[in-house]
Amino acid sequence: MPTPHIGAEKGDFAKTLIMPGDPLRAKYIAENFISNAKQVNEVRGMLGYTGTYNGKQVSVMASGMGMPSMGIYSYELFKFYDVESIIRIGTAGAISEKLKLRDIVLAMSCATNSNFASQYRLPGVPAPTSDYGLLKTAEEQAKKHGINAYVGSVFCSDTFYNDSYSVADWRKLGVLAIEMESAALYLNAARTGKKALCICTISDCPLTGESCSAEERQLTFDDMIKIALDCVQ
């Protein structure tokens, strides 16, 4: 039964789903990495596909930008389509001085300025955390491919443009990078008893002004896709 935001039927998605923010990146993955890819969703332009990778069934679908969008799609996939694992792949801005353009970050946990978790009415503040098994596998696959991947925490922001603080403040806690979707994904996974991981490529360094060109984003961001796909069980 389709949901308000996904037009696929139950059974159309694999147990593991790779989730970029950009629908065109989902299309790119389906066309270049997945065999026998079948389009299963196009509602609101959030393209979704299911096929096989190295003989294992896998799906890929876009999430859109930000926690509200990720919150909707990941919840519906976990709750109504029996997806067991979602691996987000996306871009991030470097906070740590040790990170360079195109480095890979595996988000073990995330801090956030979002009020997303208030819905759970908890007597405290939850710590959005990735699934250890997925994290461990991703780190192993990165090493196998000779890819330098940094494991640590990220800051998941509800705002892209913000006048009230500097991301440099998060360096005090050893935060590696800033992105906009991981907290909603990790909290939805925890609430539904599922698994999640966020893998990001550093596309810009806000504190230095460095950034990747559009061509570099297109041609040099395949490493995180390979790592994510090699995590498929």
Domain for residue 2, yes or no? no
Q: Is the pLDDT of residue 218 over 70?
A: no
> What's 201's domain CATH number?
3.40.50.1580
Classify 197 in phi/psi space as left (phi over 0), alpha (psi -120 to 50) or beta.
Answer: beta
pLDDT band at 219 (very low <50, low <70, confident <90, very high): low
Within-domain flag for 3: no
Cβ atoms of 50 and 29 within 8 Å: the answer is no
Domain count across the chain: 1
Measured CA to CA, the distance from residue 152 to residue 140 in angstroms comes to 15
- Residue at 87 is within a domain: yes
Task: Indicate yes or no: pTM above 0.75.
Answer: yes
User: For position 233, what pLDDT does the model report?
Assistant: 79
Q: Which residues contact 40 (CB under 8 A, 6 or more apart)?
A: 8, 9, 12, 13, 48, 49, 50, 59
pLDDT band at 47 (very low <50, low <70, confident <90, very high): very high
Q: What is the reported pLDDT for 217?
A: 72
Residue 4 lies in a domain: no
Range of the domain at 53: 16-229
Residue 100 in any domain: the answer is yes
88 is a domain residue: yes
Contacts 24+ apart (CB under 8 A), 116-125: 116/67, 116/71, 116/183, 116/184, 116/187, 117/183, 117/187, 120/187, 120/191
Does 9 fall in a domain? no
**Residue 215's pLDDT band (cuts 50, 70, 90):** confident
Which residues belong to the active site? Answer: 204
| 47 within domain boundaries | yes
Report the share of the chain in percent with pLDDT over 70: 98
Phi, psi torsion values for 28, nearest 5 degrees: -60, -45
Count of residues for the chain? Answer: 233
pLDDT at 206: 84
Query: What average pLDDT score do residues 179-189 get?
Result: 98
pLDDT tens digit string along 61-102? 999 999 999 999 999 999 999 999 999 999 999 999 999 999
